[in-house]
Amino acid sequence: MQLYEYTAHELRSLLRSGEVSAAETARALLERIAGTDPQLNAYITVLGDAALEQAGEADRMLKAGDGGALCGVPVGIKDNICIRGVRTTCASRMLENFFPPYDANAIELLRAQGSVFLGKCNMDEFAMGSSTETSYFGTVRNPHDLSRVPGGSSGGSAAAVAAGSAVVAIGSDTGGSIRQPASLCGVVGMKPTYGMVSRYGLIAFASSLDQIGPLARSVRDCAMVLDAIVKGDSRDTTSIMDAQDGFEARLNIDMKGKRVGLPREYFAQGVDEEVRDAVLEAAKTFESMGAVCEECSLPLAEYALVAYYLVSSAEASSNLARYDGVRYGYRAHGAKDHEEMFVRSRSEGFGREVKRRIMLGAYVLSAGYYDAYYKKAQQVRTLIMRDYAALFNKYDFLLTPASPTTAWKEGARIDDPLRMYAADMCTVPVNIAGLPALVLPCGRGEGGLPIGMQIIGPARSDALVLGAGYAYEQAAGGGALRPVDVGGGQG
């Protein structure tokens, strides 16, 4: 095996035993990026020398017996998460030359572990998209089929993990932006309970929905990353201050007697038959372990997508108001007055999808429409949360598709916003309710394209969700689905 093919927990053993060094591991991953990224475009910025310097420090930590479980493990970072002194663009012209003066909380914690940052992963602009086609720096391609999208908005992170150009990656999930690309790229992705990971240093899209989480090749690797980045943070007022880690240590759970709900709304019209069949087959695997699976109902799920796009767009219009050409970010030159400078800076600095959502958000927050749209969406949100709570009185966790389809052809939906938004129908209800959810592969569809399933648990049941995924992975012989040859080797 090549060094880029190992999982994080396998690398941990090799690094701690001294069989390999962090420096040679980092070099292998950087070479892998050089070999694959001309085809994939998974990275906006590759750190190169800085990564090798970090790897040297990781080797010193390993030799001294210091560092955490991820010491020396190469990590890709989504480009909306701040790293001090490293260009952080949100895949937008608006922040093309932004260099943060501070680290995000998740980055601080990974640094303390001794992790090696390979670079900043490509994404949909300001995390607004489901295909990573809205990036100012170009489209990311799916390692399983280069003519298809990787999902979004963390498409670069998912593609890098799938192709072996990152061992693990960090993404953000506002409406499925970790889980949907994990499904389309055949890797494992986790959206923790809202507030479990600090949002300090995550450039905001929709603050009541955003959450940082891992993408990896196995459930154990996801647990390792969460153990590193889950910690209360007073700089984020929504942070869960008494959040408990130890996820890897709690992976082994007994499925016997566990009650698993299959909400019929997640298997209804709009979900491809091959996806539905693969997830129902996964339910049989849970039953073989002693779990009880049965159909249930989440009546208001059909309204989640509409509520999500109203709430998230409203919050985006507010969060992105700061990019006005005055303080930082892109500024249009040659304007005759301040008003023209504001208008041109925002018109030229933002892409079409971001402007579409800013306009929608401004509209639903405007006088005369606030009660009819934004307030109503928040009321629907409360009702959806109650629906989930009622189900979790009866079921330990829910099992659903992660994406209604497998990866689609590049360009097939980019000019059809409503069809693109429908790609999030399986994931957005989880963000609306602030719940933890794990996506992992459960089969392949036509053309060998990955299919992912989603495990959803009650708030703060992250350990249970990971344990259920781990049990399935062990029983089904799962883990990430390796793509066809990309850049001269399997990912």
- For 70-122, what is the HEC assignment? CCCCEEEEECCECCCCCCCCCCCHHHCCCCCCCCCHHHHHHHHHCCEEEEEEC
pLDDT at position 488, please? 53
Residues 6+ apart with CB under 8 A from 181: 132, 150, 151, 152, 153, 154, 155, 157, 158, 159, 171, 189, 215
pLDDT digits (tens, 9 = 90+) for 263-314: 999 999 899 999 999 999 999 999 999 999 999 999 999 899 999 999 999 9
Average pLDDT over residues 235-245: 94
Active site residue 153: yes
In the predicted model, is pLDDT for residue 179 greater than 80?
Answer: yes
Instruction: State the average pLDDT over residues 146-154.
Output: 98
Using an 8 Å Cβ cutoff, are 162 and 144 in contact?
A: yes
* Active site annotation includes 312: no
Look up residue 297 and give its DSSP letter.
-
Tell me, what's the pLDDT at 487? 62
The residue from 157, 177, 312, 461 that is catalytic is: 177
Residue spans of the domains in the chain: they are: 3-256+408-476, 302-368
The predicted-structure confidence for 368-412, as pLDDT tens digits, reads as follows: 999 999 999 999 999 999 999 999 999 999 999 999 999 999 999
Please determine, for residue 174, whether its predicted confidence score (pLDDT) is greater than 60: yes
Q: Is the pLDDT of residue 490 over 60?
A: no
Q: Name the band, by pLDDT with cuts 50, 70 and 90, for residue 489.
A: very low
Over pLDDT 90: what percentage of the chain?
A: 94
Residues found in the chain:
491
The active-site residue, picked from 92, 135, 153, 172, is 153
Mean pLDDT of 340-361: 97
pLDDT in tens, 192-238: 999 999 999 999 999 999 999 999 999 999 999 999 999 999 999 99
Name the CATH code of domain 3-256+408-476 (choices 3.30.450.20, 3.40.1790.10, 3.40.50.1100, 3.90.1300.10). 3.90.1300.10
Catalytic residue, chosen from 21, 78, 231, 239, is 78
Tell me the β-bridge partners of 145: 142
Q: Is the peptide bond before 198 cis (omega within 30 degrees of 0)?
A: no
CA–CA–CA angle 382, 387, 390 (5° rounding): 125
pLDDT for residue 469: 98
Residue 470: name the closest of 247, 185, 308 by CA: 247
> Is residue 288 flagged as an active site residue?
no
Other beta carbons less than 10 A from residue 249's beta carbon: 10
Local confidence band at 486 (pLDDT 50, 70, 90 cut-offs): confident
pLDDT tens string 415-433: 998 889 889 999 999 999 9
